[in-house]
A and B are shown apart, each in its own frame.
Chain A
Amino acid sequence: MSDLAAARWLFGLSLAFHIVFSAVAIAMPVFMVLAEWRWRRTGSEVHLDLARRWAKGTAILFAIGAVSGTVISFELGLLWPRFMAFAGPIIGMPFSLEGFAFFAEAIFLGIYLYGWDRVSPRLHLASGVAVAASGALSAFFVTLANAWMNHPAGFDLAHGRATGIQPVEAMFPPGWAEEVVHVLLSCYAATGFAVAGIHAFLLRRDPSNQFHRAALAITLAIGGAAALLQPLSGDFSAREVARSQPVKLAALEGQFQSERSAPLRIGGIPDVEARTTRYAIEIPYALSLLAFHDPDAEVKGLDAFPRDSWPNPLLVHGAFQVMVAFGTGMAVLALAGLWLAWRARGLPSGRRFLTALALATPAGFIALEAGWLVTEWGRQPFAIWGVMRTSAAVTPVGHLALPFGLFTILYLFLAAMVIALLRRQIAHAPSSSGEASRPGAAP
Chain B
Amino acid sequence: MTPADLLGAVILVALVAYALLGGADFGAGIWDLLASGPRRREQRTAIEHAIGPIWEANHVWLILVVVVLFTAFPVAFAAISIALFAPLVLLLVGIVLRGAAFTFRTYDRADGGQRWGLLFSASSVLAPVMLGVVVGALASGRLHAGEGEARSDALAALSAFTIGTGAFTCALFAFLAAAYLAVELEGELREDFRKRAIASGLAVFAGAACVAALSWQDAPLVFRGLTARPFSLPLHLATGACAVMAFWALSRRRYRLARLAAALQVALIVVGWGASQYPYLVVPEVTLASASAPRATQVLLLVALAVGALTLFPSLYLLFRVFKGERPFSVLDRRPAERSDRRQ
Contacts and interface: CB of A to CB of B under 8 A. Distances in A.
A106 interface: yes
A84 B93 CA distance: 22
B89 to A, nearest CB: 5
A109 B323 CA distance: 13
A78 B88 contact: yes
Given A66-B99, A85-B78, A110-B319, A102 B60 contact: yes
Contacts of B54: 110
A64 B98 CA distance: 10
B142 interface: no
Given A77-B81, A92-B70, A165-B296, A107 B107 contact: no
Interface in A292-350: none
B57 A81 contact: no
Determine which residue in A82, A85, A98, A102 has the highest number of CB atoms from chain B within 10 A of its CB, and name it. Answer: A85
Nearest to B54: A110
B157 interface: no
Interface string B45-76: 00000001110110110111011101110110
Contacts of B102: 63
B152 interface: yes
B82 A397 contact: yes
A436 interface: no
B74 A86 contact: yes
Bin chain B's interface residue count: 35 or more
Given A67-B96, A85-B75, A96-B305, A113 B68 contact: no
A118 interface: yes
A42 B110 CA distance: 34
B301 interface: yes
A97 B308 contact: yes
B82 A395 contact: yes
B100 interface: yes
A280 interface: no
A62 interface: yes
Given A78-B88, A110-B323, A410 B96 contact: yes
A119 B53 CA distance: 13
Chain B at the A interface: SS class: helix
A111 B107 contact: no
B333 to A, nearest CB: 22
Interface stretch (A26-34, A68-76, A189-197, A242-250): A68-76
B78 A84 contact: yes
A403 to B, nearest CB: 5
B203 interface: no
A93 B92 contact: no
B21 to A, nearest CB: 11
Contact of B92 (A74, A85, A86, A98): A74
B340 interface: no
Nearest to A403: B89
A99 B63 contact: yes
Nearest to B92: A71
A110 B71 contact: no
B108 A421 contact: yes
A99 B64 contact: yes
Contact of A62 (B56, B72, B79, B323): B56
Given A89-B74, A102-B60, A114 B95 contact: no
30 contacts: A63-B103, A64-B99, A66-B56, A67-B95, A67-B100, A69-B63, A70-B63, A70-B95, A74-B92, A88-B74, A89-B297, A92-B72, A92-B301, A93-B71, A93-B300, A93-B304, A96-B64, A96-B71, A99-B63, A99-B67, A99-B308, A103-B64, A106-B56, A107-B316, A111-B318, A114-B52, A168-B300, A410-B93, A421-B108, A425-B107
The 4 closest A-B pairs by CB, nearest first: A92-B71, A77-B81, A88-B74, A89-B293
Interface of B: 52-54, 56-57, 59-60, 62-64, 66-68, 70-72, 74-75, 77-82, 85, 88-89, 91-93, 95-100, 102-104, 106-108, 110, 150-152, 293-294, 296-297, 300-301, 304-305, 308, 311-312, 315-316, 318-319, 322-323
